[in-house]
């Protein structure tokens, strides 16, 4: 785990090929099962992520936003079997600066080191920083996401 001013990164080795991990990460309909924070409720008629510039919408729930809400997630990183990332924004708005980045490093034909980074260092709106109380997602919740990913791509849950 590394924590810098404005970001947290966690890494875990997952017993699955990078392509299988990437398959799960690029399907927004699977994100609820990966979400260690408990905020993701479901996807909103989303397609597989296939490149930078795509936007996918998620149905969310959280007291920090007064209950149910939606987010638009703008894909900012896409490198098949290596990296996928997005900046999140309240639906219908431009991203205010926080980003989720999943980096995959194949360590063998059936093992992948996965690093999940939650970065809010580019959020400049002081009112938003106070309202949301970054980091909104903890290191433990990020580690829970990696554990859920490991389960999602495990032998009994192939993608």
Q: Tens of pLDDT along 102-140? A: 999 999 999 999 999 999 999 988 888 777 788 989 999
CB atoms within 10 A of CB 157: 14
Would you state the structure tokens that stand for residue 86, as one six-digit string?
A: 């997005």
Question: CATH classification of 2-152 is 3.30.530.20, yes or no?
Answer: yes
Write phi, then psi, for 117 (nearest 5 degrees): -115, 130
State the angle between helix axes of 139-152 and 18-25 in degrees (0 to 180), rounded to the nearest 10: 110
Q: Please, which residues bridge with residue 61 across strands?
A: 68
Does the pTM surpass 0.75? The reply is yes
Please, how many CA atoms are within 13 Å of residue 70, restricted to the half-sphere of its CB?
Answer: 12
35-67, pLDDT tens digit by residue? 999 999 999 988 999 999 999 999 999 877 678
Residue 61's H or E segment, with its range, is strand 55-62
Residue 43: in which H helix or E strand, if any?
A: strand 40-43
């Amino acid at each position: 785990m590394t924590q810098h001013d404005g970001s947290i990164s966690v890494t875990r080795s997952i017993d699955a090929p990078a392509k299988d991990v990437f398959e799960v990460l690029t399907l927004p309909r699977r994100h609820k099962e990966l979400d260690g924070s408990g905020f993701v409720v479901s996807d909103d008629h989303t397609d597989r992520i296939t490149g930078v510039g795509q936007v996918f919408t998620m149905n969310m729930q959280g007291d920090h936003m007064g209950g149910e809400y939606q987010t638009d997630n703008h894909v900012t990183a896409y490198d098949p079997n290596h990296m996928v990332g997005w900046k999140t924004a309240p639906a219908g708005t431009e991203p205010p600066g926080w980003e989720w980045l999943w980096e995959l490093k194949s360590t063998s034909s059936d093992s992948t080191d996965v690093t999940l980074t939650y970065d809010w260092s580019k959020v400049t709106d002081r009112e938003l920083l106070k309202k949301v109380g970054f980091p909104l997602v903890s290191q433990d919740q990020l580690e829970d996401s990696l554990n859920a990913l490991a389960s999602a791509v495990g032998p009994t849950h192939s993608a």
